[in-house]
Amino acid sequence: MKRLLALFTITSSIALMVGCQTNDRADKLEVAEVTRSVFYAPLYIALSEGYFEEENLEIDLTTTWGGDKTMTALLSDGADIALVGSETSIYVAGQEATDPAINFAALTQTDGTFLVAREDISSFDWSDLNGTTFLGQRKGGMPQMVGEYVLKQHDIDPQNDLTLLQNVDFGNIPSAFASGTGDYVQLFEPQASTFEKEGLGHVIASFGAESGEVPYTSFMAKRSMIEKDEDALTRFSKAIYKGQQFVETEDSALITESIHSYFEDTDVDILANAIDRYKEQGSYATDPLLSEDAWNTLLEIMDEAGELPDHIPFEELVNTTIATEAME
């Protein structure tokens, strides 16, 4: 009996040790972001402030430069999570994917691009774009679709009233404008503020302020990943929520200090200016929950652009359970 008791004690101790080792080992998640932008400040806050570590998560972040490349990384298991425009999940679903990409946490809630002109136009009117050359974004991507949506709201036909250039790779658009291509360009921050400081352009309007709320960039995982490890995605969303609250409550100086390591080649004053611009127009989502109204606006924007493959219902491609639990 004593031997059995001793054996039971030893076995229980070993099991406890193994269990503790398992719980202490952080879950590793591979995350692919579509670009590197101040637009994604809550993510970098969550990384720099240790919010993922608090949720026992190890994050490997890779910038994949483009929606198509980011979604390819997710679908081919090169990433567990993709941070990309919600429209890409609709494209995948439109191809009748057996394991579609599901939006589970919102990061941004407006367009993140600004209209940049070569000259500082003090009394800009959208009609000024008529007859000019506009350096646009990738066809079918959120920046371009929102851009066209805003132009149409101002009675501008982007296909006929101006010369629309869409043959420049996403990552090369800033350098193309800097080298003389186009009269106007659509740029994210901090590139827009950098161009202003260097005298290469001037921000004269905001596409985000014009277009209203839309699920512009969200975190996605394949349906199979959600079914397999919803707990890890919930903990991931908790960390993002903490980052969102930090950005919501703190000033641009403190936010800049926290995320500067992700933009080492950018001056702190440019970062702070970019953050203020995004905060002022409500671009940062204050929580990870995607709304159905914003989703329907996205479908409207895609439909007007002629890029909507099918009217995909909100509940088919959006998981609200994870974000809701993360906020509790």
pLDDT digits (tens, 9 = 90+) for 102-158: 999 999 999 999 999 999 998 999 999 999 999 998 889 999 999 999 999 999 999
Tokens of 135: 């350096």
Inform me whether the pLDDT recorded for 69 exceeds 50: yes
Inform me whether the pLDDT recorded for 13 exceeds 50: no
What CATH number has the domain spanning 25-110+214-327?
3.40.190.10
Report the C-alpha gap between 278 and 295 in whole angstroms.
20
Q: Are strands 27-33 and 202-206 parallel, antiparallel or unpaired?
A: unpaired
Query: Helix, strand or coil for residue 285?
Result: coil
Inform me whether the pLDDT recorded for 4 exceeds 60: no
Provide the pLDDT for residue 25. 62
pLDDT in tens, 169-178: 888 999 999 9
pLDDT in tens, 204-247: 999 999 999 999 999 999 999 999 999 999 999 999 999 999 99
- Domains of the chain by residue range: 25-110+214-327, 113-211
More confident residue, 56 or 2: 56
Tokens of 326: 């993360």
pLDDT in tens, 238-290: 999 999 999 999 999 999 999 999 999 999 999 999 999 999 999 999 999 99
Q: How far is CA 183 from the centre of its chain?
A: 27
Domains 25-110+214-327 and 113-211 share a fold: yes
Residues near 7 by Cβ (< 8 Å), separated by ≥ 6? Answer: none
Provide the pLDDT for residue 24. 54
pLDDT in tens, 307-319: 999 989 999 999 9
Provide the pLDDT for residue 138. 85
Report the sign of the C-alpha dihedral through residues 272, 274, 277, 283, in that order. negative
Provide the pLDDT for residue 115. 97
pTM: 0.88
Provide the pLDDT for residue 23. 45
User: What is the side-by-side order of every strand in the sheet holding 101-108?
Assistant: 57-63, 27-33, 81-85, 217-222, 101-108
What is the DSSP track for 244-298?
HHHHHHS-HHHHHHHHGGGGTTS-HHHHHHHHHHHHHTT-B-SSSPPPHHHHHHH
Residues near 56 by Cβ (< 8 Å), separated by ≥ 6? Answer: 23, 26, 27, 235
Provide the pLDDT for residue 19. 42
Q: How far is CA 74 from the centre of its chain?
A: 14
Provide the pLDDT for residue 1. 39
What CATH number has the domain spanning 113-211?
3.40.190.10
Report the C-alpha gap between 318 and 316 in whole angstroms.
6
